[in-house]
């Protein structure tokens, strides 16, 4: 992302944000409420067109492409809320995740299903259940699994721990770690600073629509200012 200014109705919320994620790495964006995290995410996945600046995906400029077109290029997205089809079964969620995005050269549905279920063994037994009846943590896994079905190169997660109990959030970040280990590039926006940075290679701290700090995750975690501000002085 290069010099991105974005916002709603002409009011910029992001004031010239630049950062990049290297292939195969995990980048976590943290910051207080209202710092522009979700605006940043929407701009990244193509739900919001920036006022100025560019969004680059590999070598290609995707600034003007909408979400479906970016999805077709291998950018998968798990929105913060309402990220599953509640009235459909888990299997159908995975099917829908696959069939409208996967290119013809992609591995078959069956192969991808096996691969994804290996990453999320917890949902294998739930394939026939209606997704809306699952627990919060399981729903997040279904949402991530559906996004991973077409074998994307980048997975964007918007506040994956939102609404989860601390215990479930920890389990979820273990799963996210598994996904990262499988070679997928991850862009995560997360309110839970400690959990988020703990799972990341790099961290970006966003404050008031500007980048306050961009560094390897361990350095961000160790930064005294950040510790005081967002980790409650711990």
Select from 5, 51, 62, 88 the one that contacts another protein (CB under 8 A).
88
Distance CA 155, CA 76 (A): 5
Q: Is 80 a binder of another protein (CB under 8 A)?
A: no
What is residue 80's DSSP assignment?
S
Select from 11, 33, 59, 82 the one that contacts another protein (CB under 8 A).
82
Phi, psi angle pair for 224, to nearest 5°: -60, -40
What is residue 122's DSSP assignment?
G
Q: Is 84 a binder of another protein (CB under 8 A)?
A: yes
Among 180, 190, 170, smallest CA distance to 144 is for 180
The nearer residue to another protein, 3 or 99, going by C-beta atoms, is 99
Residue located via tokens 């992302």: 1
Q: Is 140 a binder of another protein (CB under 8 A)?
A: no
Sketch the per residue contact string, 89 through 128, with another protein: x for CB under 8 A, - otherwise: ---x--xxx-xxx---------------------------
The nearer residue to another protein, 158 or 223, going by C-beta atoms, is 158
Q: Is 135 a binder of another protein (CB under 8 A)?
A: no
User: Does residue 137 come out as left (phi exceeding 0), alpha (psi in the -120 to 50 range) or beta?
Assistant: alpha
Rounded to a whole number of angstroms, the minimum distance from the CB of residue 38 to another protein is 14
Distance CA 52, CA 1 (A): 11
Q: Taking CA 144 as the corner, what is the angle to CA 31 and CA 220, rounded to the nearest 5 degrees?
A: 25
Question: Binding residues for another protein, per CB under 8 A?
Answer: 45, 47, 66-68, 71-72, 77, 79, 81-88, 92, 95-97, 99-101, 146
């Amino acid at each position: 992302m290069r010099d991105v200014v974005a916002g709603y109705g002409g009011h910029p919320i992001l004031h010239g944000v630049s950062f990049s994620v290297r292939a195969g790495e995990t980048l976590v964006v943290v910051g207080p409420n209202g710092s522009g995290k979700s605006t940043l995410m929407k701009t990244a996945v193509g739900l919001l067109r920036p006022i100025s600046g560019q969004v680059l995906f590999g070598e290609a400029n995707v600034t003007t492409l909408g979400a479906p077109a970016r999805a077709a290029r291998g950018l998968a997205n798990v929105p913060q809320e309402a990220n599953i089809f509640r009235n459909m079964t888990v299997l159908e969620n995975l099917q829908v995740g696959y069939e409208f995005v996967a290119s013809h050269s992609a591995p078959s549905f069956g192969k991808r299903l096996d691969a994804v279920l290996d990453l999320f063994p917890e949902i294998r037994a739930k394939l026939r259940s209606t997704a809306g009846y699952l627990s919060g943590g399981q729903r997040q896994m279904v949402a991530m699994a559906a996004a991973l079905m077409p074998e994307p190169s980048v997975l964007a997660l918007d506040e994956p721990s939102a609404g989860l109990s601390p215990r479930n959030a920890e389990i979820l970040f273990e799963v996210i770690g598994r996904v990262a280990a499988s070679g997928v590039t991850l862009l995560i926006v997360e309110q839970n600073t400690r959990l988020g940075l703990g799972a990341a290679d790099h961290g970006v701290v966003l404050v008031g629509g500007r980048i306050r700090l961009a560094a390897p995750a361990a350095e961000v975690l160790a930064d005294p200012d950040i510790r005081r501000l967002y980790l409650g002085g711990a």
